[in-house]
Amino acid sequence: MQLEFVPVEKFYFALTLAVRTLEDLEHPDLIHRVRSQLWTKYGQPSTVAPGKQNTFNYVFSVQGIDNAPANQLIVSVSDWQSKLRLSSDYGWALDSERKPTRTDKFHQRSQFSQQLQLHLQQHLQIPFND
């Protein structure tokens, strides 16, 4: 798995209506450590949404994972209501009317979430289970 950061200038072009929550992780200090590491590695988040419930959202294009029939795979790492939220369009695709529909990979979202968490732990050097 390879994550390519989508900066705020290109966020609109990566936007997909099929991104759905994979996991909400609630661990002490996890949000602050992840936010700090993402800021250090990538700078400004992909979207700027300062608020009480959501203060950052880093979006990545994922390479090396098959998400057919969709032609791309997007992952979002954000905070939401004091939890670290991982979201993705894995297992979803837009139909001809641009409505999200489940694909054959939908039942594998849990495994993809675990794979993503392991990758982020290694990439950011932060244990998610402390």
The pLDDT tens digits for 74-86 are 999 999 888 999 9
The pLDDT tens digits for 32-68 are 999 999 999 999 898 866 667 788 899 999 999 999 9
- Looking at the chain, the whole-number percentage of residues with pLDDT higher than 90 is 57
Strand (E) or helix (H) holding 92: strand 92-94
Beta-carbon contacts of 67 under 8 Å, excluding residues fewer than 6 positions away, are 73, 89, 90, 91, 93, 103, 105
pTM as predicted: 0.89
